[in-house]
Amino acid sequence: MSTSTTALPTTGWNLRYHPKRELWFAWWVMVVFYNLYGVLFFFVTRVQPPPSPAWDTPTVARWFADHGHGIIAGFAIVFLVAGMCAPMNALLAYSMRRMSVSRVFAYSYLIIYSLAAVPGMLVMAMAMTVAAFRPDRDPEIIGWLYDFGFLSFSGTMGVFLIGSLVYMVAILHDKNDVFPKWFGYLGLCNALTEVVVAPAWIFQRGAFAWNGAIAWWINMVVFVLYTGVFIVLLRKMIEREDFGTGRLPDLPAKEASR
C-alpha cells in the first residue's frame, strides 16, 4: 500500500496507484462530459430544447443573430472536449468485456458509439457554427444550415438504435450479473426513441417534428433516464469489480471498495 504508515491512502496515491484508477477515471470523465453536454446544449448554445422547424426564414436568421455568440462559444467548447466520449465509450465497452458474452459486443459497441459522435453531435456543431459565423449570409442559406444542424442531431438514429440494441442483447445474455436485467429492457426503450424520431425527417410541425412532444420531449426524458441509470449502474459495477473473470461479487455490507 502507501508508503506512509497511515491507513488511508492519499489522493496522490489514489491517482497513481489505485487498482481501479482506470475505471474511476473513465467514470468521472463520463459524469463531467454529460454535465458539460447539458450546460452547453441547454444554456450556452441554447439549441436545446430546439426551436421550431416551422419557422420562416427571417425568423431563423433572426434566431441566429440573437444566439450567435452563445452558439460559437458553446460549440467551441464542444470541439475542445468532444474527445471525452472516448473514455466514456471505453468504459461501456469494458462493462461488456466483464460480461459472459463474446468480445464482439464490446468491440461493436465501441466502434458504433465512437462513430456516433460525428453525425450525431459534431456535424450539428459545425453547421450551427458556420451559420453563426456570417450572420449576413443569404437567409435562405442560413435556413438550410438550420435544417442541416437540427436534422443531423435529431435524425442520426441508426448508430444509437443499433448501439443500444447491442448493449441490450449483451446485458440480457450475460451470466455474470454485471447489470440487472431490467436495464436491458430500458435499453430497448432507448432504442425505440430512435425509431419514433424518424418522422422528424418528414414533419415540419406537430408531435413528430424535431421539437415535438414525441420526437423531442419523450425522447429526451427516456435518454436522460437511460443515461442516468447507466451512470449509476456503472458506478456500482466499478465498486464491485474484483478483476476476476467470473461473476461480479456482491457489494460488501457497508463500505464499497472505492
* Cα separation values, 209 from 3, 90, 147, 157, 216, Å: 61, 33, 12, 15, 8
Other Cβ atoms within 10 Å of 104 Cβ, number: 11
Q: How far is the CB of 248 from other proteins (least distance, A)?
A: 14
**How far from chain centre, in Å, is Cα 29?**
12
For other proteins, the closer CB: 113 or 210: 113
- Selected from 90, 178, 186, 237, the binder of other proteins by CB under 8 A is 90
Q: In whole angstroms, what is the distance from residue 251 CA to residue 258 CA?
A: 11
Interface with other proteins includes 177 (CB under 8 A)?
A: no
Q: How far is the CB of 106 from other proteins (least distance, A)?
A: 8
- Selected from 37, 41, 94, 153, the binder of other proteins by CB under 8 A is 94
Interface with other proteins includes 197 (CB under 8 A)?
A: no
DSSP assigned state of 83:
G
Q: In whole angstroms, what is the distance from residue 191 CA to residue 167 CA?
A: 10
Q: What is the DSSP string of 179-204?
A: S-HHHHHHHHHHHHHHHHTGGGGT-S
For other proteins, the closer CB: 72 or 172: 72
Q: Which one of 3-11, 124-132, 157-165, 210-218 is the stretch in contact with other proteins (CB under 8 A)?
A: 124-132
Give the binding site for other proteins (CB under 8 A): 16-17, 19-23, 25-26, 72-73, 75-87, 89-91, 93-94, 97, 110-111, 113-115, 117-118, 122-123, 125-127, 129-130, 132-134, 137-138, 141, 145, 243
